[in-house]
Amino acid sequence: MLTLPIFYHPSTTLWVDDDSLFLQAVSQLFNPGHLKTFNHPADCLNFMAAYKAPSSNITFLRGAVEDERYELARHAPVDLNVASIYQAHTSQTRRDEISVIIVDHNMPDMTGIALCEKLKHHPAKKILITGQTSHDTAIEAFNDGIIDKFINKASENLVPEIYKYHEELLFNYFQEVTTPLLSHLEADMKLPQSDPAFICFFHHLCQQYKIQEYYLIDKNGSMLLVDGAGYQRQLIIHTNRSLDAFIELISGLQHTESMQANIQRRECIPFFGIGRECWELNREDWNKHLYQPKQLAGRETYLYTLLDAMSCL
């Protein structure tokens, strides 16, 4: 099932090839800060043996010890703090995450397939650069799950194919890494991140604004979007269910009648900032955090607005 990663950002690609000139040439294809090259498979293995994914340093889940059922043997209450997902954006090492490994097959010390097999336990996606004579071997390695893609080194479309498969596998890496977290979030209700209609809309949005990284910021599916220049936008998402729940939450509070009526008519949706709830702000300021929505039809109706980073402070 196709889902959106709940976080996605530029990361590091490893490239292993015994041909130094070829490595030097392909290094022009990637941002130097996002590529690490090796001439010898052993050097790559040594590097990976000491490697720890930066995302593994973030604690997304914790035991909900405050839950009264925590001590019961038949229950295992777990809390996912969505703010921890956004914290990945502030990590200075997030771009060091190894997401894709590109390997030449024909190397004297160790074949590319043998190297990928030694790295099979690692979730990074593997692309094999192969010659025509090893085509059948590459197909077998693909079928065995040792590699994820293979490309003929003599292909006239080598560079476009590398770009295409690299982007595809980068997405797949973060999708697989974050799927367990999405499944946990969806134990209660489905998020737009698993709705094909929303996924299509979101991909077009990312193309339009040249988005290079994004992070879930609340359990309704809202996301922080960052473009290549580092400019931030926030895609705020609500459903009829989340808006009705908010109205119920503030029902009976003084000076909120007009606000409730506007939300009830779906003329506005609330957003109080990343990681902030309404009660953390003065009630007289709540109306400053209401935004006119657009609608997207999907598995359910999504009411959304796209905010510049400064417009919701």
State pLDDT tens for residues 21-42.
Answer: 988 888 888 887 899 999 999 9
Total domains present in the chain: 2
Residues 235 and 104 in one domain: no
Quote the crossing angle between the two packed helices 257-264 and 240-250, to the nearest 10°.
Answer: 170
* Confidence tier at 69 by pLDDT (50, 70, 90): low
Q: What is the pLDDT of residues 184-232, one digit of tens each?
A: 888 888 999 999 999 999 999 999 999 999 999 999 999 999 998 999 9
117 assigned to some structural domain: yes
Give pTM, 2 decimals.
Answer: 0.90
Residues 215 and 306 in one domain: yes
151 assigned to some structural domain: yes
Residues 31 and 158 in one domain: yes
238 assigned to some structural domain: yes
d(CA 70, CA 53): 30
Residues 247 and 200 in one domain: yes
Contact criterion met (CB below 8 Å) for 287 and 256: no
Q: What is the pLDDT of residues 137-189, one digit of tens each?
A: 899 999 999 999 999 988 889 889 999 999 999 999 999 999 988 888 888 88
Token code pair at residue 55: 């995302």
Measured CA to CA in angstroms, residue 41 lies from 17, 101, 149, 151 at distances of 8, 12, 19, 19
pLDDT at 312 over 50: no
Residues 120 and 233 in one domain: no
Token code pair at residue 145: 């799950």
Residues 73 and 159 in one domain: yes
107 assigned to some structural domain: yes
Q: What percent of the chain has pLDDT over 90?
A: 63
N-to-C CA span, the chain: 36
Contact criterion met (CB below 8 Å) for 184 and 61: yes
Residues 221 and 257 in one domain: yes
Residues 169 and 293 in one domain: no
Residue tagged 């999708």 (tokens): 175
d(CA 88, CA 253): 36
d(CA 273, CA 44): 43
* CATH, residue 106: 3.40.50.2300
d(CA 67, CA 7): 28
* Final residue belonging to a domain, choices 185, 219, 254: 185
1 assigned to some structural domain: no
Residues 17 and 146 in one domain: yes
Token code pair at residue 85: 């997902």
* Final residue belonging to a domain, choices 130, 159, 185: 185
Residues 206 and 133 in one domain: no
157 assigned to some structural domain: yes
Residues 269 and 204 in one domain: yes
2 assigned to some structural domain: no
73 assigned to some structural domain: yes
* Final residue belonging to a domain, choices 154, 185, 216: 185
- Domain with 229 in it: 192-312
- Decide: helix, strand or coil at residue 8: strand
Residues 91 and 173 in one domain: yes
Q: What is the pLDDT of residues 91-101, one digit of tens each?
A: 888 999 999 99
d(CA 53, CA 72): 34
d(CA 63, CA 67): 9
Contact criterion met (CB below 8 Å) for 74 and 55: no
